[in-house]
């Protein structure tokens, strides 16, 4: 008797259960568990006998993986210098962020260089892909197009004729394979389709790019499992209201993961941005008191974000404390430390703190940036525009070291910042970071530094009044 092969799989994280339940114990999501048939097809087929293969010694010739330039330097930078033969990349990002545009541009650049590039769209009809190519002025590039979703058909077509150097599958969530019984779009289907495409890449030497959509939590939708199967996971990010896009490697077997590629979305496609700081800094209100740039880490990724603070005299008996994007308790703690150890009087002031761009910061490393923004607003002292801040503040007023300071500093340097205000203790010897570091041991010294730069509002007003008269 064959074992009962039905199982219930969480569509968010891939955890398997014997029976259905409303909430996934593994990831905490509700209503994500669906029934799937995990058994392979053809149950009557006898098990295949293993084939003998030669084992090799550890010593021997080692080849540096040969690279094929994508034709887009910003993309090459992120993947570590170009596509590796037989490698599989997963490119994730929100729908509409420009993944298809990026990849059709890469395919066109490769085709122009005389390589065979194939673009399979499971989302759009060929005519739609053609329209996009026309808009991007890529129509003359000899990219081969198809609108297909059957992995078996795709692999049969790709295996026919010369092996393509690049295959783009847009998207992996639309692909389905006969080898798995589950419904299209389920974790098991996506995993099965990805497995078949990965086998093809390894066998043929073609570089395969899988496009994956991202959930609101920032994970490649559904199959986190395929993140472990591919050689590299790239994430294409940006905000709807901004024109810039950031490509970063979340995982990379053949290169570093701390490189980012920056693009600007224009009417005629993605423009590569060689100097990202211009673009990034163009959105900030420079020279305004109450803003500080925090060099943070989101998951494994460094993210720079602006912390905005407004400290204003309160008309209320109990002054307001409002915070968006950060922990309310954390704010209260920083305010208490400023009062108790730094002589900053806030009891009669309303305090507003906002993390720009709708980001939600979890880490205590934001303490120093928040304190800097608060004091900057109170003292009416703009902070240096080319500085980033990070560090945890303890109840004693000491500035404590935080993890990943090298990654934070590298990201800041990458985005064009020139200096960083960092914790004194545990400072990593970041020799390869081109940033002027100011070490702060106690919050008091930061406060007095900022206060020394500022003009108290009343005196500033008085001065303006004198100038008017």
Judged by CB under 5 A, the stretch of 19-27, 36-44, 125-133, 403-411 that binds Zn ion is: 19-27
Question: Between 7 and 272, whose beta carbon lies closer to Zn ion?
Answer: 7
Q: Smallest distance, Å, CB 6 to Zn ion?
A: 18
Q: What is the DSSP letter of 258?
A: S
Cα-based distances in Å from 278 to 73, 268, 286, 356, 387: 18, 20, 12, 18, 15
Binding track over 24-43 against Zn ion, x by CB under 5 A: x-xx----------------
- Could you count the other beta carbons within 10 Å of the beta carbon of residue 5? 12
Q: Is 391 left (phi over 0), alpha (psi -120 to 50) or beta?
A: left
Question: Between 140 and 217, whose beta carbon lies closer to Zn ion?
Answer: 217
Question: Alpha-carbon distance 355 to 91, whole Å?
Answer: 27
Contact between 252 and Zn ion per CB under 5 A: no
Contact between 187 and Zn ion per CB under 5 A: no
Judged by CB under 5 A, the stretch of 8-16, 234-242, 351-359, 383-391 that binds Zn ion is: 8-16
How does strand 349-355 pair with strand 321-324?
Answer: parallel
Q: How many CA atoms lie within 13 A of 271 on its CB side?
A: 12
Question: Alpha-carbon distance 326 to 322, whole Å?
Answer: 10
Contact between 16 and Zn ion per CB under 5 A: no
Binding track over 92-131 against Zn ion, x by CB under 5 A: ----------------------------------------
Q: How many CA atoms lie within 13 A of 342 on its CB side?
A: 30
How does strand 117-121 pair with strand 166-170?
Answer: parallel
Judged by CB under 5 A, the stretch of 23-31, 167-175, 304-312, 409-417 that binds Zn ion is: 23-31
Judged by CB under 5 A, the stretch of 21-29, 72-80, 124-132, 352-360 that binds Zn ion is: 21-29
- Could you count the other beta carbons within 10 Å of the beta carbon of residue 246? 23
Judged by CB under 5 A, the stretch of 15-23, 47-55, 180-188, 459-467 that binds Zn ion is: 15-23
Question: Alpha-carbon distance 417 to 435, whole Å?
Answer: 7
Contact between 295 and Zn ion per CB under 5 A: no
Q: Smallest distance, Å, CB 249 to Zn ion?
A: 25
Cα-based distances in Å from 384 to 218, 351, 397: 32, 22, 23
Quickly tell me which residue has 């080692």 as its tokens.
Answer: 62
Contact between 220 and Zn ion per CB under 5 A: no
Q: Smallest distance, Å, CB 33 to Zn ion?
A: 7
Question: Between 13 and 79, whose beta carbon lies closer to Zn ion?
Answer: 13
Residues in contact with Zn ion, counted by CB under 5 A, come to a total of: 7
Question: Between 223 and 454, whose beta carbon lies closer to Zn ion?
Answer: 223
Indicate the angle between helix axes 367-378 and 443-453, nearest 10 degrees. Answer: 30
Within 8 A by CB and 6+ apart from 110, the residues are 68, 70, 71, 117, 165, 166
Judged by CB under 5 A, the stretch of 10-18, 122-130, 333-341, 442-450 that binds Zn ion is: 10-18
Q: What is the DSSP letter of 249?
A: E
Among 2, 6, 9, 12, binds Zn ion (CB under 5 A): 12
- Per residue, what are the HEC states of 179-211? CCCCCCCCHHHHHHHHHHHHHHHHHHCCEEEEE
Judged by CB under 5 A, the stretch of 4-12, 62-70, 150-158, 199-207 that binds Zn ion is: 4-12
Among 9, 10, 78, 337, binds Zn ion (CB under 5 A): 10
Contact between 219 and Zn ion per CB under 5 A: no
On whether the CB atoms of residues 269 and 136 are closer than 8 A, the answer is yes
Among 13, 309, 335, 344, binds Zn ion (CB under 5 A): 13
Question: Between 14 and 82, whose beta carbon lies closer to Zn ion?
Answer: 14
Q: Smallest distance, Å, CB 28 to Zn ion?
A: 7
Question: Between 24 and 68, whose beta carbon lies closer to Zn ion?
Answer: 24
Binding site for Zn ion (CB under 5 A): 10, 12-13, 15, 24, 26-27
């Amino acid at each position: 008797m064959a074992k009962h092969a039905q199982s219930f799989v969480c569509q968010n994280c891939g955890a398997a259960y014997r029976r259905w339940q409303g909430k996934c114990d593994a990831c905490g999501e509700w209503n994500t568990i669906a029934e799937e048939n995990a058994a392979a097809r053809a149950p009557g087929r006898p098990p295949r006998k293993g084939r003998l293969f030669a084992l090799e010694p550890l010593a021997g010739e080692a080849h540096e993986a040969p690279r094929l330039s994508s034709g887009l330097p910003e993309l090459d930078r992120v993947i570590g210098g170009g596509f590796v033969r037989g490698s599989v990349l997963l490119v994730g990002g929100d729908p509409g962020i420009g993944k298809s545009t990026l990849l059709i541009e890469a395919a066109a650049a490769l085709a122009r260089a005389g390589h065979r590039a194939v673009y399979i769209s499971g989302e759009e009809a060929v005519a739609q892909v053609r329209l996009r190519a026309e808009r991007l002025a890529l129509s003359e590039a000899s990219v081969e197009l198809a609108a297909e979703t059957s992995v078996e058909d795709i692999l049969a077509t790709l295996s026919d004729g010369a092996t393509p150097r690049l295959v783009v599958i847009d998207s992996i969530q639309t692909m389905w394979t006969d080898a798995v019984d589950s419904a299209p779009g389920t974790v098991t289907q996506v995993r099965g389709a990805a497995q078949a495409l990965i086998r093809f890449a390894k066998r043929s030497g073609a570089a395969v790019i899988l496009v994956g959509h991202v959930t609101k939590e920032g994970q490649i939708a559904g199959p986190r499992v395929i993140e472990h199967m591919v050689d590299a996971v790239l994430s294409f990010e940006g905000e709807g209201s901004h024109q810039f896009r950031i490509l970063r490697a979340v995982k990379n077997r053949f290169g570093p993961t701390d490189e980012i590629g920056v693009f600007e979305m224009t009417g005629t496609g993605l423009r590569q941005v060689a100097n990202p700081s211009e673009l990034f800094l163009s959105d900030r209100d420079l020279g305004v008191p109450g803003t500080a740039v925090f060099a943070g880490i989101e998951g494994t990724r460094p993210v720079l974000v602006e912390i905005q603070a407004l400290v204003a005299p309160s008309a209320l008996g109990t002054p307001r404390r409002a915070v968006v994007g950060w922990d309310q308790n954390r704010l209260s703690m920083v305010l208490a430390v400023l009062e108790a150890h730094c002589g900053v009087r806030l009891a009669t002031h309303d305090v507003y703190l906002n993390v720009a761009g709708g980001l939600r910061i979890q880490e205590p490393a934001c303490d120093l940036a928040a304190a800097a923004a608060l004091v900057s607003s109170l003292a009416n002292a703009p902070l240096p525009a080319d500085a980033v801040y990070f560090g945890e503040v303890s109840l004693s007023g000491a500035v404590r070291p935080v993890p990943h300071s090298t990654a934070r500093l590298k990201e800041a340097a990458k985005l064009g910042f020139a200096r960083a205000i960092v914790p004194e203790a545990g400072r990593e010897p970041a020799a390869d970071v081109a940033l002027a570091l100011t070490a702060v041991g106690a919050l008091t010294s930061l406060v007095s530094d900022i206060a020394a730069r500022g003009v108290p509002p009343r005196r500033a007003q008085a001065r303006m009044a004198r100038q008017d008269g």
